[in-house]
Structure 1
Amino acid sequence: MTEPNPDLLPEGLEDRLPREAAATTRVMRAIQDVMHGHGYDRVLPPMIEFERSLAARMDGINPPDSGRRMFRFVDPASLRMMALRSDHTPQIGRIAGTRLAAAVRPLRLCYAGQVLTIKSDALDPARERLQCGAELIGADNVAAACEIVAVAIEALQAAGAQGVSVDFTLPDLVDTLAEKAFPLALQQIEAVRRELDTKDAGGLVDAGGEAYVPLLYATGDFNTAIEKLAAIDAEGQGRGALASRIAALREIAAALGGAARLTLDPSERHGFEYQSWLGFTLYADGARGALGRGGTYRIAGAGKDEAATGFSLYPDALIAHVAEAERGEDSVFLPLGHDRDVAARLRSIGWRTVAALSEADTAHALGCTHVLAGSEPQKL
């Protein structure tokens, strides 16, 4: 039996070579600078926590299978089960509800780092991903939503994203309408949700949700879709059940002032199962798939239930796109016997230097764009 190549990496994991690693550093720094500039303080939770605590918090703010996607192992010190994080958000909730429970609200926190999952998504083979984001804890009103969406857009644009678009959704749409506007029996609600998720008009009718069929067509360009949603809301038995949400969406859209292309899909729930009244997905030209998600949710813990609004960005696709378009950095070749004080001065004003270690080293061989001639760089 032939042994596998010992240098192969496990499925879903990869090295970042110099160009992509440099792009990663720039993108992550740009995103964090934007969040810092808006008053968000960075926290650094550990990569590993006790599995019971982490999984319990994940069950409250993530899709049902999130806890089962974590790598688990026994801690030899405590003999308790531990887990590698697959999402930062539950850790931020723990920090806010424990170590920072007495901090003034609204509490603005941000984070950046890697997350790891046992299995990849159906359309994305990666199991290790970069995640960064911001959480506004203690508020889930329209003002908080306006800030969070605006910061997410600004962060992506600062990182090099072009043509950013935001797709809004209303995660509690069915629950809100089922109460009075378009009544459903308790056993019908989940079936109607499922058929809306699959965009199946026939399935909706069969599930007793004929009144919900028009929601499938209240999608697309924000201004057009919001008018269709308002018309649907005006037809229900409890007219105006969505009035406050429609008004909030319009206010958020107006506050963004054309910073991004806006769309609406009010019945979309994939990835928003535990969001409350607002959810949104972020995209950009040239970047494959969604670059992030956000919305309003609740943090449970420390004997209280707290409102929060936030977003998570997954910039790997953006990094790959940016790295392809970037040219190499300028660098100055320093020949043997060069003046070290001159080289130090060049680095202090932003130059990148590469020193020769032997007579065989040349500027061209080491990929330099300039060579030190006397006290100044000379372009090759």
Structure 2
Amino acid sequence: MAKERNLLQIPAGMRDLLPGDARNKRILENKWTDLFTTWGYQEVITPTVEYMDALAVDTGEEIRDDRMFQFFDRQGRILALRPEMTTPIARVVATRLKKSQFPLRLHYAANVFRYDDPQAGRQREIFQAGVELIGAPGPLADAEVIALAVEALRQSGLEDFQISLGQIEVFNGLMEELPLSDEQKSKVRSLVAKKDFVSLEEMLAKEGLNDSQAELLLKLPTLHGGREVLVQALPLAVNERARQGLNNLRQVYDALRTYGVEDYVALDLGVLRGFDYYTGIVFEGYTVGLGFPICGGGRYDGLLGQVGFDCPATGFAIGLDRVLLALSRSREPEPVPVPDMLIGGDNTEKIIAVAGRLRQEGRSVEIDVLGREEAELKAYAALRGIEEVVLYRKGGDDPAEA
């Protein structure tokens, strides 16, 4: 009996997409694919399964080994389901596209897998779409992908969302000045990203940092707003690394103003992201009603070097599941479309010919394959919401031409 029950279940964190949800997902994917293409991005598709070694670059706490689905092939090699798309695309560029003309503009729509505790907005199979701009250093490249992320969210139908924009080198510059171990710095980073002020203050006091050092770190996650944040953050420029980070943040923000998307962007020095491969600009997108980001990205100039091809890069990923969840909470669900016409009767040759012609004209046509009589067919159409029912009988009149 237990085996029979398992046959009817799916693993935790996975889900079936029924006709309405599947249609909404496909519409959004197609809309974003068209958008990315108009910005000059080309689609790539990578394997769902890769060798564990290819995925085990230094990504940080966001993707640890225990959050990957791992298994063995018949030769004993460790395989894994991809947990994100940036690393696989870095592998493709380093192995298949390194002789291309740069910069490369690549986009994707794919499923990724993470062994998390399932909850609303966080499944173990995650549908993402995103872009990677590879081979282009500098603020204009970062501004392009952020502006594109804004446009993608606008085209999804979301009306109330915001991109929180940070610069991880400001934090890294501060860390260089503190007498903390790598493990302690990692913990500080996690607490800053979570804006856990109480725990952060307790840790800094415990580690013996002086008041001025602690004050700077506690100030970091509070800096949130418009261009005035760049002035408020000047005390954080404690060394050249932090100064360059702030200057880069200003350049990117000014470029975003040129794009005309500044109303959707807020500066936030507390945004650090969970991946260790980020080296500069980082950002996350949020919308009303969801307590987790719907998109995220940033610059990762060191990642391709880890796979043997040193090259600057920037990009983002949007969670299709999360955007669709936000949309479902902000508007009435759209009805599942039904065919324009239902054709029945016993004149099979005529039925198939007419249905084919109408479909070529762009009509949606369903053929009755159960041989139902007129009354039963009209009752079925009424239940489905199909407004037009046509019957063709052998030797009868042609209602389509009447």
TM-score category (smaller protein): 0.7 to 0.9
The answer for the alignment partner of 1:361 in structure 2 is 377
1:307-329 per-residue CA deviation (whole Å, 9 max, x = no partner) reads 11000111102224546521232
1:295 to 298, 305, 311: 298
The answer for the alignment partner of 2:192 in structure 1 is 196
Report if aligned partners of 1:153, 1:259 keep a CA contact under 8 Å in 2.
Answer: no
Report if aligned partners of 2:135, 2:312 keep a CA contact under 8 Å in 1.
Answer: yes
The answer for the alignment partner of 1:149 in structure 2 is 146
Alignment of 1:335 with 2:363, yes or no, is no
Residue identity in the other structure for 2:202: G
Residue identity in the other structure for 1:199: F
Structure 1 residue 285 displacement after superposition: 4.3
* More displaced 10-residue stretch of structure 1: 358-367 or 190-199: 190-199
Which is greater in Rg? Answer: 2
Q: What is the TM-score normalised by the length of structure 1?
A: 0.85
* More displaced 10-residue stretch of structure 1: 269-278 or 189-198: 189-198
The answer for the alignment partner of 1:229 in structure 2 is 233
Give the Cα–Cα distance (whole angstroms) in 2 for the partners of residues 372 and 223 of structure 1.
64
The secondary structure found in structure 2 opposite 1:364 is helix
* More displaced 10-residue stretch of structure 1: 285-294 or 238-247: 238-247
Give the Cα–Cα distance (whole angstroms) in 1 for the partners of residues 34 and 289 of structure 2.
23
The answer for the alignment partner of 2:159 in structure 1 is 162
1:80-114 per-residue CA deviation (whole Å, 9 max, x = no partner) reads 22111111211100000111111111111111111
Structure 1 residue 46 displacement after superposition: 1.0
- Are residues 285 and 346 of structure 1, via their aligned partners in 2, closer, same or farther at CA, if it must alter by over 3 Å? farther
The answer for the alignment partner of 1:317 in structure 2 is 322
Give the Cα–Cα distance (whole angstroms) in 1 for the partners of residues 353 and 107 of structure 2.
40
Give the Cα–Cα distance (whole angstroms) in 1 for the partners of residues 73 and 3 of structure 2.
31
Give the Cα–Cα distance (whole angstroms) in 1 for the partners of residues 307 and 188 of structure 2.
35
The secondary structure found in structure 1 opposite 2:160 is strand
2:268 to 247, 265, 268: 265
Report if aligned partners of 2:273, 2:282 keep a CA contact under 8 Å in 1.
Answer: no
1:113-169 per-residue CA deviation (whole Å, 9 max, x = no partner) reads 111223336775511110111101112311101110111122222232222310112
- Count how many residue pairs are aligned between Structure 1 and Structure 2: 366
Give the Cα–Cα distance (whole angstroms) in 1 for the partners of residues 51 and 246 of structure 2.
43
1:137 to 115, 134, 138: 134
The answer for the alignment partner of 2:9 in structure 1 is 8
Q: Map 1:267-286; keep pairs closer than 5 Å.
A: 267-285=270-288
Give the Cα–Cα distance (whole angstroms) in 1 for the partners of residues 264 and 286 of structure 2.
10
* More displaced 10-residue stretch of structure 1: 11-20 or 196-205: 196-205
Give the Cα–Cα distance (whole angstroms) in 2 for the partners of residues 110 and 123 of structure 1.
26
Structure 1 residue 37 displacement after superposition: 1.5
Residue identity in the other structure for 1:225: V
1:145-197 per-residue CA deviation (whole Å, 9 max, x = no partner) reads 11101111222222322223101122222222355xxx322537456535534
The secondary structure found in structure 2 opposite 1:253 is helix
Structure 1 residue 217 displacement after superposition: 2.5
Give the Cα–Cα distance (whole angstroms) in 2 for the partners of residues 345 and 286 of structure 1.
47
The secondary structure found in structure 1 opposite 2:261 is coil
Structure 1 residue 281 displacement after superposition: 0.6
Give the Cα–Cα distance (whole angstroms) in 1 for the partners of residues 175 and 361 of structure 2.
64
Q: Map 1:1-380; keep pairs closer than 5 Å.
A: 5-6=5-6, 7-55=8-56, 59-63=57-61, 65-76=63-74, 78-120=75-117, 124-179=121-176, 183-187=177-181, 189-190=185-186, 192-197=188-193, 198-200=196-198, 202-203=201-202, 206=205, 207=207, 208=209, 209-212=213-216, 213-219=218-224, 221-230=225-234, 232-233=235-236, 236=238, 240=243, 242-258=245-261, 260-285=263-288, 289-297=292-300, 298=302, 299-301=304-306, 303-322=308-327, 325-337=333-345, 339-357=351-369, 358-359=371-372, 360-362=376-378, 363-372=381-390, 374-375=399-400
Structure 1 residue 335 displacement after superposition: 2.7
Give the Cα–Cα distance (whole angstroms) in 2 for the partners of residues 123 and 365 of structure 1.
32
- Are residues 241 and 130 of structure 1, via their aligned partners in 2, closer, same or farther at CA, if it must alter by over 3 Å? closer
User: Whose helix proportion is higher, 1 or 2?
Assistant: 2
The secondary structure found in structure 1 opposite 2:14 is coil
- The CA RMSD over aligned residues, in Å, is 2.9
Report if aligned partners of 1:166, 1:260 keep a CA contact under 8 Å in 2.
Answer: no
1:214-264 per-residue CA deviation (whole Å, 9 max, x = no partner) reads 323312x3234334224x347x58795554134224324313313652222
- In the alignment, structure 1 segments of 5+ residues that lack a partner are none
